[in-house]
């Protein structure tokens, strides 16, 4: 399909796009083209300029230089409405739906069907009928009056797509659409994308997941450091080649560190019959000293809830935990921290960091009281500890006084880690440690995890990235619907086995599509 359309006039063409922000040039003379009925993967590390380019295309920000043509006509967008009028729809990574409204209201939000002026009543019957037709198109079998707050992340994604279609989108931009989806929901999404492509819609697909990109895309455009690097047809692309273009050097596929030999296993944490809030069954497992214990599962499998119980955010309803053979029942994060159990949360921007505070202030937050004298802040010690953290994790920041909000995702995660490493961790819980982090920084985080485990720290790692689970874990606990469906290690630890247990269909693994 793509090869045939190359000769045609592109549906979209962006040329010489330049965009400057305070202190940085986000985009420098970038080009991009998209044909009807084509899936274009836009690749690049975080900070390469993908998001900025897509914001320009979606009318969210205006470029300083450059031209955009849609179907051969030069266009200029001063706001989102202008872009929408040209049939461009942008689906953000964080979905932009009003959760207190139903599906129909969301689909037509800002585009309400009414007869005449703004004050005329809404034409509910027509909107409902159209919404039903749109849901059928995206394969969502739900009443259109369902509240969006009751939908899963995957279903909400479908509603976003239906919304884009309702506005007659010709160009659909999807920013990391699978980042919050389980693999079953991702499969459903891919099916819809194939369908949309067949209907002649041009799709720009942004993802860090190489497997998806190789499966879905017709062509790949790579950006690096705000510049256009190259275009590849999928046939010419390989995992290594794309990563090489993204980071500007050849990277071996194997960016996971060598697994360490575990010495005689010592049990550090025992979890017995732990009952999570709102869950039916109970959960039992144990973790050893110096091991990386992976937690695989779909979104909503209860992994985050389990970690929050272990960290004392939402205490378990019943059950027993032993930490180093001493009873452990934290009712607040403080109690967990005092026992050496630390959590780097999934949502690091809201739960892990105070974005407006500096690197130093964030690094010292859990610990600052211990080196205060009579409540007086000891800024000298604080600076020393923060400097050590920055050095140890090779955090890229102009200074430890820099506000954390100005750092990239990977460096923010390093600050979260530094905050805990300044203390003496027994157990480090990492919930989605590399979500939204670019390839280069990922490899560094993995290296640090491996070193920490080598020092005897027990790492509990929740991840929805199967590659990461396989690459990093010594053992893997698989969860499905808030129960543990299996604990795998050694030769039993295979992608197929994990993927099967994740969906609760251990014997039906063939139906699972596993990212290669």
The one among 66, 184, 200, 244 contacting another protein by CB under 8 A: 244
Contact 371, 378 (CB under 8 A): yes
CB of 397 to another protein, least distance (A): 18
The structure tokens 């004392």 sit at 312
Is position 361 an interface residue for another protein (rule: CB under 8 A)? yes
Is position 419 an interface residue for another protein (rule: CB under 8 A)? yes
Is position 402 an interface residue for another protein (rule: CB under 8 A)? no
Contact 257, 233 (CB under 8 A): no
Is position 314 an interface residue for another protein (rule: CB under 8 A)? no
Q: Which is nearer to another protein, 224 or 475 (CB)?
A: 224
Q: Count the neighbouring beta carbons within 10 Å of the beta carbon of residue 501.
A: 23
The one among 61, 64, 123, 300 contacting another protein by CB under 8 A: 64
The one among 332, 399, 494, 516 contacting another protein by CB under 8 A: 332
Is position 61 an interface residue for another protein (rule: CB under 8 A)? no
Residues in Cβ contact with 516 at an 8 Å cutoff, skipping those fewer than 6 apart: 211, 214
CB of 319 to another protein, least distance (A): 22
Is position 351 an interface residue for another protein (rule: CB under 8 A)? yes
CA distance 512 to 352: 34
Is position 496 an interface residue for another protein (rule: CB under 8 A)? no
Is position 281 an interface residue for another protein (rule: CB under 8 A)? no
- Structure letter (DSSP) for residue 7: S
Q: Which is nearer to another protein, 145 or 370 (CB)?
A: 370
Give the footprint of another protein on residues 364-393 (CB under 8 A): 365-366, 368-369, 372, 375-377
Closest CA to 263 of 231, 289, 228: 289
Is position 241 an interface residue for another protein (rule: CB under 8 A)? yes
Give the footprint of another protein on residues 171-230 (CB under 8 A): 222, 224, 227-230
Is position 85 an interface residue for another protein (rule: CB under 8 A)? no
The one among 1, 24, 136, 496 contacting another protein by CB under 8 A: 24
CA distance 351 to 344: 8
Q: Is 485 exposed, middle or buried (0-12, 13-18, 19+ CB in 10 A)?
A: buried
> What are the CA-CA distances from residue 505 to residues 74, 75, 368, 390, 405 (Å)?
52, 51, 48, 44, 42
For the chain, how long is the longest CA-to-CA vector? 76
Q: Which residues of 82-117 are buried (b: 16+ CB within 10 A; e: fewer)?
A: ebbebbbbbbbeebebeeeebbbbbbbeeeebeeee
Size of the site for another protein (CB under 8 A): 51
CB of 352 to another protein, least distance (A): 6
Contact 81, 129 (CB under 8 A): no
Q: Which residues of this chain interact with another protein, rule CB under 8 A?
A: 20-25, 28-29, 31, 64, 222, 224, 227-230, 240-241, 244-245, 248-250, 311, 313, 332-334, 336-338, 343, 345, 350-357, 361, 365-366, 368-369, 372, 375-377, 419
């Amino acid at each position: 399909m793509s090869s045939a359309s190359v000769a045609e006039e592109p549906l979209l063409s962006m040329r010489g796009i330049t965009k400057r922000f305070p202190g940085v040039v986000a985009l420098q003379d970038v080009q991009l083209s998209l044909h009807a009925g084509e899936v274009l993967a836009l690749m690049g590390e975080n900070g390469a300029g993908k998001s900025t380019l897509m914001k320009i295309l979606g009318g969210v920000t205006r470029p300083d230089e450059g031209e955009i043509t849609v179907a051969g006509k030069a266009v200029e967008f001063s706001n989102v409405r202008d872009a929408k009028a040209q049939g461009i729809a942008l689906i953000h990574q964080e979905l932009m739906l009003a959760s207190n409204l139903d599906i129909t209201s969301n689909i037509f939000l800002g585009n309400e069907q009414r007869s005449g002026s703004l004050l005329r009543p809404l034409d509910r019957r027509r909107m409902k009928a159209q919404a039903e037709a749109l849901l059928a198109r995206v394969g969502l079998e739900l009443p259109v009056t369902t509240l969006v707050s009751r939908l899963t992340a995957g279903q909400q994604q479908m509603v976003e797509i239906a919304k884009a279609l309702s506005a007659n989108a010709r160009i659909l931009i999807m920013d990391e659409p699978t980042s919050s989806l389980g693999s079953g929901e991702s499969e459903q999404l891919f099916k819809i994308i194939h369908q949309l492509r067949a209907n002649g819609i041009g799709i720009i697909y942004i993802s860090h997941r190489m497997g998806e990109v190789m499966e879905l895309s017709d062509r790949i455009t790579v950006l690096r450091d705000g510049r256009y690097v190259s275009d590849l047809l999928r046939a010419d692309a390989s995992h290594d080649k794309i990563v090489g273009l993204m980071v500007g050097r050849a990277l071996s596929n194997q960016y996971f560190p060598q697994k360490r030999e575990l010495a005689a296993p010592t049990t550090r944490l025992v979890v017995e019959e732990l009952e999570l809030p709102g869950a039916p069954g109970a959960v039992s497992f144990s973790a050893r000293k110096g091991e990386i214990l992976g937690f695989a599962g779909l979104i909503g499998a209860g992994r985050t809830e389990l970690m929050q119980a272990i960290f004392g955010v939402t205490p378990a309803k019943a059950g027993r935990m032993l930490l180093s053979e001493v009873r452990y029942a934290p009712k607040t994060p403080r109690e967990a921290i005092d026992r050496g159990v630390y959590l780097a949360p999934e949502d690091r921007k809201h739960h892990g960091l105070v974005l407006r505070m500096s690197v130093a202030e964030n690094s010292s937050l859990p610990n600052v009281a211990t080196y205060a004298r009579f409540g007086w802040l000891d800024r000298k010690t604080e600076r020393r500890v923060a400097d050590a953290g920055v050095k140890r994790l090779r955090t890229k920041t102009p200074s430890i006084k820099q506000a954390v909000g100005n750092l990239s995702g990977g460096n923010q995660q390093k600050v979260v880690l530094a905050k805990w490493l300044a203390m003496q961790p027994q157990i480090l819980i990492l919930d989605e440690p590399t979500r939204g982090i670019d390839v280069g920084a990922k490899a560094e985080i993995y290296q640090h995890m491996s070193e920490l485990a080598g020092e005897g720290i027990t790492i509990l790692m929740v991840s929805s990235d199967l590659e990461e689970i396989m690459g990093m874990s010594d053992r893997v606990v698989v969860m499905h619907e808030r129960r543990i469906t299996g604990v795998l290690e050694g030769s039993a630890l295979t992608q197929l086995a994990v993927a099967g247990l994740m969906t609760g269909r251990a014997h039906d693994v063939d139906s699972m599509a596993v990212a290669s």
